[in-house]
Amino acid sequence: MKRNRILAGAAAAAATALVLAGCSGGGSDSGDGGDTADGELTPVTLQLQWLTQAQFGGYYLAEANGYWEELGLDVEIIPGAVDIVPQDVLAAGDVDFAIAWVPKALASIEAGANITNIAQVFERSGTLQVAWADSGIEGPEDLSDKQIGSWGFGNEWELFAGLTEVDASGYTIVQQNFDMNALLNKEIDAAQAMTYNEYAQLLEAVNPETGELYQPEDFSVIDWNEVGTAMLQDAIWANSDRLADDPEYAETAVKLIQGAILGWIDQRDDPQAAADAVTAAGSTLGTSHQLWMANEINKLIWPSSSGIGHINEDQWDATVEMALMTKNQDGAQVITTDPPEGSYTNEYVDEAIANLEADGVDVLGESYEPIEVTLTEGGN
């Protein structure tokens, strides 16, 4: 038995060492502690919706370029995972701020989450429904009696709003994977895709008929922004109670937004820098795919109609209205009653924008032009 115990002890030591080695790169202090003396940085945690990628490039640039540090914040960016629902993690008090899509957050608010949208970073929706060019699917009205791919889990509402609007019927919703193989193999007629991710996956795949990469002409795309059923996506959410009761937290919210905006401006002016920053932060996505994503994300933000992050009332109302009206294939809907007062506020983002404009920062990006990204096979 003795030998066994020694071996177990050695195994434990080795395991602990391995674990420590594995964690040391992650920046592991969570930022709930209130032990900040004057002059020290305020620890802040920011929960993302998904893995480290250029979709969140502005935040990684804000950190890499020290914008938050200059404002006195020590922000820890926490990547998402399959079972992490950012707005619920936020409502549970596990993080200080979270990134989430508005319809998903509205559902959580109705379920009791006390959270507030403090900055609508993406002004446009990045969701597409992609079909083959020769399928005859040009708009949502053509989706009747078709096999429609969707990820579900709150990602499907724009699709259903579109289907409801044109009274489509007889369609089947198929649970879609992370890849686009179902569409490429013609198992479904139309696949859900984000402009910045899955659509690029299609254009990085080799067309077995030509031996070349697929081209945009090979596909027809339904863009919910054009159909008019786009809903607001990535926004920064804060804890409503803490905003109301804790002046220090409210001040942190302004600084967080301010630093993030500077990061997003850097991504606008140099998408390659954003792609590099997220790759440095541990993303294993291919280089051309990452640059494509950075560029497509820019298109969702810039040019900004009323300053990046400012929540446009008409867009908010449209999202809420669709959330109230739309039913998915199970008859569920996002929300049943209007969201409570204080589900969004421009108080903090406007202060951040005013601070930046006073420094001569361009928060509108009126002259923004996207770059041309050439995708390579596999996005590598």
Partner 1 sequence: MVGVLALAVLWELYKLVGPADGWLVGAQEGVTGSGIRLLPRTSDQAMPHTWDMVARVIEPVTRAQGALPLGVVVLLAALTSLGVAALGWLVGVVVGFALALLMLGFRIAERAVLPFVILSQTVPLIALAPLIRNWGSRLEFGAFSWESWMSVVIIASYLAFFPVAVGALRGLQSPDAAHLDLMRSYAAGWWTTLFRLRLPASVPFLIPALRLAAANAVVGTVVAEISVGFTGGIGRLILETAVAASSDPAKPWAPILGAVLLGLVAAGFVALLAAFLSPFRRQETVA
Ranges within 169-198 binding partner 1 (CB under 8 A): 172, 174, 177-181, 184-189, 197-198
Residue 204 in contact with partner 1, rule: CB under 8 A: yes
Per-residue exposure over 277-302, b if at least 16 CB sit within 10 Å of its own CB, e if not: bbbebebebbebbbbbbbbbbbbbbb
Q: Which of 176, 283, 315, 328 binds partner 1 (CB under 8 A)?
A: 283
Residue 205 in contact with partner 1, rule: CB under 8 A: yes
Count of residues touching partner 1 (by CB under 8 A): 71
Residue 378 in contact with partner 1, rule: CB under 8 A: yes
What's the CA gap between 59 and 63, in Å, rounded?
6
What's the CA gap between 285 and 349, in Å, rounded?
31
Contact stretch for partner 1 (CB under 8 A) within 14-22, 57-65, 97-105, 356-364? 14-22
Q: Which of 17, 244, 325, 371 binds partner 1 (CB under 8 A)?
A: 17
Residue 16 in contact with partner 1, rule: CB under 8 A: yes
- In eight-state DSSP terms, residue 333 is B
Residue 204 dihedral angles phi and psi, to the nearest 5°: -100, -5
Site string for partner 1, 236-265 (x = CB under 8 A): ------------------------------
Least Å from the CB of residue 47 to partner 1: 9
**Quick check: helix, strand or coil at residue 307?**
coil
Residue 296 in contact with partner 1, rule: CB under 8 A: no
Of residues 126, 107, 104, the one with CA closest to residue 300: 126
Site string for partner 1, 23-52 (x = CB under 8 A): x-xx-xxx-x------------------xx
Q: Which of 1, 37, 209, 247 binds partner 1 (CB under 8 A)?
A: 1
Contacts of 186 (CB under 8 A, 6+ apart): 132
Residue 92 in contact with partner 1, rule: CB under 8 A: yes
- In eight-state DSSP terms, residue 72 is T
Contact stretch for partner 1 (CB under 8 A) within 82-90, 229-237, 315-323, 358-366? 82-90
Residue 358 in contact with partner 1, rule: CB under 8 A: no
Q: Which of 117, 220, 258, 288 binds partner 1 (CB under 8 A)?
A: 288
Return the C-alpha torsion angle 63, 68, 74, 79, nearest 10: -40
Contact stretch for partner 1 (CB under 8 A) within 242-250, 277-285, 303-311, 361-369? 277-285
State the amino acid at position 264 in one-letter form. W
Sign of the C-alpha dihedral computed for residues 335, 340, 341 and 342 taken in this order: negative
> Between the CA of residue 214 and those of 123, 179, 245, 263, 378, what are the distances in Å?
29, 15, 54, 33, 12
Residue 354 in contact with partner 1, rule: CB under 8 A: no
Residue 315 in contact with partner 1, rule: CB under 8 A: no
What's the CA gap between 66 and 329, in Å, rounded?
46
- In eight-state DSSP terms, residue 140 is G
Least Å from the CB of residue 201 to partner 1: 5
Q: Which of 69, 94, 218, 251 binds partner 1 (CB under 8 A)?
A: 94
Q: What angle do CA 99, 298, 239 make, to 5 degrees?
A: 15
Question: Is the Cβ of residue 56 or residue 344 nearer to partner 1 in the bound state?
Answer: 56
Question: Is the Cβ of residue 112 or residue 178 nearer to partner 1 in the bound state?
Answer: 178
Q: Which of 61, 71, 73, 78 binds partner 1 (CB under 8 A)?
A: 78
